Amino acid sequence: MTDPSPFSRELLARFSGCHTTSGGEVWVRCEDAIAVLDLAQERGLPLLGMEAFVFGDVSVYPSVSRIADYSSLEELGTAYDHARAVLIGPWVAIPDDLYSEAEGHYMIDLVVAD
């Protein structure tokens, strides 16, 4: 298991309901994603992308329609503005492109360069 980055460790300390993956990523609850974006932007961390998952007791269900790649954007604010817009818009509800048996917590993986 890879150790979480300093920013990921901060998320684990500040937000309940986070999940750490074996790769050291920290997924946050969808309802916390805007606050996490604000924190990352305050820290000046480039937002590279985000993905949505439903995290269940036994399985993880990725949403193929909820992947955003910001790695090619040159302006830091543009990525954060777009991410906020989709999180309060089309990404606010659990994705409908998942397996019918998908149950669990709606989680967002915010990928930042830290």
**Domains of the chain as residue ranges with CATH:** 6-112 (3.30.190)
- 2 DSSP assignment: P
pLDDT in tens, 67-114: 999 998 777 678 999 999 999 999 988 877 766 677 778 889 999 987
Alpha-helical segments (H) within the chain:
6-14, 33-42, 76-88
Q: Tell me the pLDDT band of 22, cut-offs 50, 70 and 90.
A: low
Of 34, 17, 5, 11, the C-alpha closest to 105 is 17
Number of H helices, E strands in the chain: 3, 5
pLDDT in tens, 79-89: 999 999 999 99
Indicate the pTM of the whole model. 0.84
